[in-house]
Structures are given as structure tokens and as C-alpha cells.
Amino acid sequence: MCRFYDRSAINQCTEDDAEEVQDKEKVNFCEWFKPDSDAFDPQQAALEVRARSNLNALFSDDTAAGADEESASNSAEDLFR
């Protein structure tokens, strides 16, 4: 939710002076935090949900339960079309 947040940046922050957050599950404080009004992107969120769903379907226990290898291979190829 910060305007300096960037997944591809070192420590996921573009502010050079910001300290690295070691445990992102716990409460933390950053004096460089600036709210970003465009932080939530509904389209990106929908794409992420769809990608996770496709990966879960691809790696589910169905292949271990006797589904043939060709079906699993086709499912994997469909992800990249």
C-alpha cells in the first residue's frame, strides 16, 4: 500500500534509505511510508486469482489419483496459451 513498494526492487522497496522488513507478517514501522491511492488494482488481483487457480488445478492430487500423463501435460500447455 506504499508508493515505494515494488516487487522487483531489492527488499521490495524503491526508497534507498528504508530499512529492510525482516518479518512481513508482524507489525512494522517505516518512516518512509507514503500511501499509494493506486495500490490495489482489481484487474491484477483477478489475474493473480486465476493464475493461482490454474496452478492449483495443475498440481492437484488428480494426477496422483490415476489421471493419465497426457491429460496433465495438456493442462500444463494450456496455461501458456
pLDDT value of residue 67: 53
The residues pairing with 77 across neighbouring beta strands, listed in sequence order, are none
Which residue, among 54, 59, 10, 2, has the nearest Cα to 33 in the 3D structure? 2
Cβ neighbours of residue 69 under 8 Å, at least 6 residues apart? 63
- Quick one: pLDDT band at residue 22, thresholds 50, 70, 90? confident
- pTM comes to 0.45
The one-letter code for the residue type at 59 is: F
Which residue, among 47, 42, 69, has the nearest Cα to 58 in the 3D structure? 69
Asked whether the predicted pLDDT for residue 73 surpasses 50, the reply is yes
